[in-house]
Amino acid sequence: MLLYILDMFGTAVFAISGVLLASKLRMDPFGMIVLAMVTAIGGGTIRDMALGATPVFWVNQPEYLWMILVTCILSMLLIRQPRRLPWYFLPVADAIGLAVFVAIGVDKALSYGASPMVAVIMGVITGCGGGIIRDVLAREIPMLFRTEVYATACIAGGIIHTVALAANVDVEIASIAGMITTLLIRLAAIRWHLSLPVFGSGK
């Protein structure tokens, strides 16, 4: 139940990030809903299609779609009447959602008989795939390809998750260990502005 609640929380937070980007680009309500949808469920959709899980998860669980629609409506109302939130609120909430999505992606991949390496990749896709689609639609450079520590946190969490399972650790404990790893690395990156080195031609 806790994982389900956190999953819904992550879905809402990712939807909000889509709405905020759409607002920044001055899109209409339909554009906001599209960006919110692809951000919140895009990664899981790609994962399910890659694993051959048909139909994709939100077809049989429409509560995800309702959560996104309600989040969009509330977000659009709040954008018209802005409230002051601490600068760290959305990044921290996003980090929590990211950690949960990665763990869910890893678990689902393993349940379909994927290897640990593929499971880690599926975890990264679940956590980052929606954001990539959102940024591509908005003509932004996806966060995954920037210097910010984002996908790296997902990879580390996925590795800890699969290694713990290989060591015969309880499934729930392994999932929690993976989530905590992803979350702590992402929070550290937010707090201390950690980034990866940039590669390019120097002059």
The pLDDT tens digits along the chain (203 residues) read 788 998 999 999 999 999 988 988 999 999 999 999 999 999 999 999 999 999 999 999 999 999 999 999 998 888 766 566 688 888 998 999 999 999 999 999 999 999 999 999 999 999 999 999 999 999 988 877 776 799 999 999 999 999 999 999 999 999 999 999 999 999 999 999 888 887 665 55
Burial class of residue 44, CB neighbours in 10 A (0-12, 13-18, 19+) = buried
CA pair distance 21, 184, nearest whole angstrom: 25
Among all chains, which residue has been given the structure tokens 């990156």? 189
Among all chains, which residue has been given the structure tokens 């905590």? 180
**Beta-carbon-side half-sphere exposure of residue 86 (alpha carbons within 13 Å):** 5
Q: What is the pLDDT of residue 141?
A: 84
**Residue 39: which of 24, 61, 17 has the closest Cα?**
17
**Residue 124: which of 96, 101, 148 has the closest Cα?**
101
Around Cβ 4, how many Cβ atoms within 10 Å?
11
Q: What is the pLDDT of residue 81?
A: 62
For the chain, first and last CA: distance in Å? 55
List C-alpha distances in Å: 43 to 13, 67, 80, 170, 197.
14, 16, 29, 26, 26
CA pair distance 203, 64, nearest whole angstrom: 49
**Beta-carbon-side half-sphere exposure of residue 178 (alpha carbons within 13 Å):** 36
Measured CA angle at 111 (ends 110, 115), to 5 deg? 25
**Numbers of helices and strands, H then E, in the chain:** 8, 0
Q: What is the pLDDT of residue 82?
A: 55
**Residue 191: which of 149, 136, 128, 146 has the closest Cα?**
149
Measured CA angle at 33 (ends 9, 50), to 5 deg? 70
**pTM score:** 0.93
Enumerate the β-bridge partners of residue 195: 148
Take residue 133 and report the two structure tokens written for it.
Answer: 């689609």
